[in-house]
Amino acid sequence: MNATYRIIIEPDKKGFHGYVPALKGCHTWGKTIMETKRHLQEAMSLYIKIFDHS
């Protein structure tokens, strides 16, 4: 099953902060936007694996 999630990436003091509003607590950061996107993909995958009990 495929799902689409909205991600938010914002600049912060050390680079970029990224999070997924639909996945409470799913946050990460990176030095670049691309690094932050990669980290978000990993975080989302792990989050769904751990918390998806359907």
Number of structural domains the chain divides into? 1
CATH of the domain at 22: 3.30.160.250
Answer for the pair 29, 36: CB distance below 8 angstroms, yes or no.
yes
Q: Is the alpha carbon torsion for 24, 21, 48, 40 positive or negative?
A: negative
Q: Please list the pLDDT of the chain residue by residue as tens digits (54 residues).
A: 688 999 999 999 999 999 999 999 999 999 999 999 999 999 999 999 998 765
Instruction: Tell me which H or E stretch contains 41.
Output: helix 33-51
Euclidean distance between CA atoms 33 and 3, whole angstroms: 22
Number of neighbours of residue 24 by Cβ within 10 angstroms: 10
Report yes or no on 30 lying in a domain.
yes
Q: What is the pLDDT of residue 5?
A: 95
Report yes or no on 29 lying in a domain.
yes
Report yes or no on 32 lying in a domain.
yes
Report yes or no on 2 lying in a domain.
no
Residues in the chain: 54
Report yes or no on 1 lying in a domain.
no
Domain that includes residue 14, residue range: 8-51
Report yes or no on 13 lying in a domain.
yes
